Chain A
Amino acid sequence: MEREVGTFRVKAGLAEMLKGGVIMDVTTPEQAVIAERAGAVAVMALERVPADIRAAGGVARMADPHIVREIMDAVTIPVMAKARIGHFVEAQILEALGVDYIDESEVLTPADEQYHIDKAKFKVPFVCGARNLGEALRRIAEGAAMIRTKGEPGTGNVVEAVRHARTVNADIRRVVAAPEDELGTIAKELGAPLELVREVHELGRLPVVNFSAGGIATPADAALMMQLGVDGIFVGSGIFKSQDPEARARAVVRATTHFQDPAVLAEVSVGLGEAMPGIEISKIAPAERMQERGW
């Protein structure tokens, strides 16, 4: 048998290996090393964390390749990086740099308001955001090998992450409970391919790994999302916008592993200093909500 590179199995397989772990946003090699030492399973290389992107305004783009390279050189764990929705050339550049996963992300300013990236064309796998099952399955149909619920990035407010995880769960329960002859209509309502809806019906879950993102700021937040059934955690601004990033990073990792053990959760939550300042979602104008980007 010849060597086959970039099969869907190796793309989705890396996400399987990240399960039960925490992926942390980092903007410097020093932060990447702190994340790795704290037990992160991967880092997301960025120029600015979402809270700073939100504060800065303007157009947010792919990070400078120099920053991505420096971070790749600093750690042995996988390195992810973000491309704008629909910006397939940013994705080509990230693939050429050798990043391990590309996040086609609503945290950056979309480059295309109609079409997401044709992700199946790439050897490197993609993760995409979703707020419900239909959105998740559309991304998977385009070639995404991993999903993360969107939440509302850069807020330190877990409420949207919870909403999206519960919505995906409710949608899946409906698909699982439906008789087979109703799946076609459900697929139409969800705006998702029937073949993938059938797969969800059989598996009782998404066909790829599903992490939670967007607003996780404490170990308790991470465990909450794990108990709601997600496979792992993305922490964006929550680590390096807090008072003691190293201690908080360690605590979030341990809370994600032992999410069902309140004694461990209590122990790791002690003495972490101030969490990042949070934002009430109703204070963000609907047009400024990152979760509305993508479709």
Chain B
Amino acid sequence: MATIGVLALQGAVREHARVLASLGAEVRLVKRPGDLEGLGGIVLPGGESTTIGMLLEEYELAPVLRAGEIPIFGTCAGMILMADEIEDSDQPRLGVMRISVRRNAFGRQRESFEEAIDGAPVTGDPLRGVFIRAPYVTDVGPDVEILGRVDGKIVLCRQGRFLAASFHPELTDDRRLHRYFLEEIVQRAAHLA
């Protein structure tokens, strides 16, 4: 199994690390550019996108991730950082996906919620989405595949080796989305290489 990084500048790092390890991945916490070497994929966790974006630039992780070789799975703040368009914001970002996102799109913390995701690429029960001051996607480019919605809003999408979710699968016991990332994206990218 490939080594999977979890960006560890700030946020829900240990939750992602726990899920990935339970799926058999070798997990490496990433804080400096050297930590990116040889990764089969990386998870950008939830956290504060303004904080993480700033530190990604300052500690020179952004150029490597922006080059687009490493498969990325971003949740919540991670999704925001992957978007090339962030409504009303000029905050630092990777911009690897052709999506427009709206931050805090469902409201403030008291509006944060749990709800089933429609149409996610998993078999069995629907994914239970945990949305915390969550963003959603308002527009997508032609090569972006929409994989999940809540209330009609796009909350899960994929563009090639990039997967972005508005919600937090790492806060539940459901590992299916992480498994999808490892099997459908990381392993395929490794195979193509």
Contact = CB atoms under 8 A, between A and B. Distances in A.
Contacts of A257: 9-10, 31, 55
Interface string A87-105: 0000000010011110000
A16 B55 CA distance: 19
Interface stretch (A7-15, A48-56, A165-173): A7-15
Interface in B70-111: 76-77, 89, 103-104, 108-111
A200 to B, nearest CB: 16
A19 B130 CA distance: 17
Given A4-B115, A21-B48, A258-B31, 11 more contacts: A4-B114, A6-B113, A9-B130, A10-B109, A16-B11, A17-B46, A17-B132, A21-B11, A76-B50, A123-B110, A124-B110
Contact of B109 (A1, A39, A101): A101
Interface in A1-37: 1-7, 9-10, 13-14, 16-21, 36
Contact of B132 (A14, A98, A124): A14
A95 B10 contact: no
Contacts of A68: none
Interface of A: 1-7, 9-10, 13-14, 16-21, 36, 39-42, 76-78, 95, 98-101, 123-125, 253-254, 257-258, 261
A45 to B, nearest CB: 13
A125 B46 CA distance: 18
A253 B51 contact: yes
Interface residues of B, number: 40
A21 B115 CA distance: 28
A268 B128 CA distance: 42
Contacts of B13: 19-20
B168 interface: yes
Contacts of B48: 17-18, 21, 41-42, 77-78
Contacts of A78: 48, 108-109, 133
Contacts of B46: 16-17
Nearest to B91: A76
Contact of B89 (A5, A76, A123, A258): A76
A20 B112 contact: no
B21 interface: no
8 contacts: A4-B114, A13-B112, A13-B168, A17-B47, A21-B11, A78-B108, A100-B108, A100-B133
Contacts of B55: 39, 253-254, 257
A41 B46 CA distance: 12
A98 B51 CA distance: 22
A14 B9 CA distance: 16
A124 B15 CA distance: 22
A50 B113 CA distance: 33
A4 B113 contact: yes
A10 B132 contact: yes
Given A4-B115, A10-B130, A13-B130, A20 B8 contact: yes
Contacts of B168: 13
Contacts of B51: 21, 39-41, 77, 253
Interface in B148-175: 168, 171-172
A208 B124 CA distance: 30
B132 A1 contact: no
A19 B11 contact: yes
Contacts of B113: 3-7, 10
Interface in B20-66: 31, 46-48, 50-51, 54-55, 58
Contacts of A39: 50-51, 54-55
B112 A10 contact: yes
Interface string B117-148: 00000000010101111000000000000000
Contacts of B110: 5-6, 95, 98, 100, 123-124
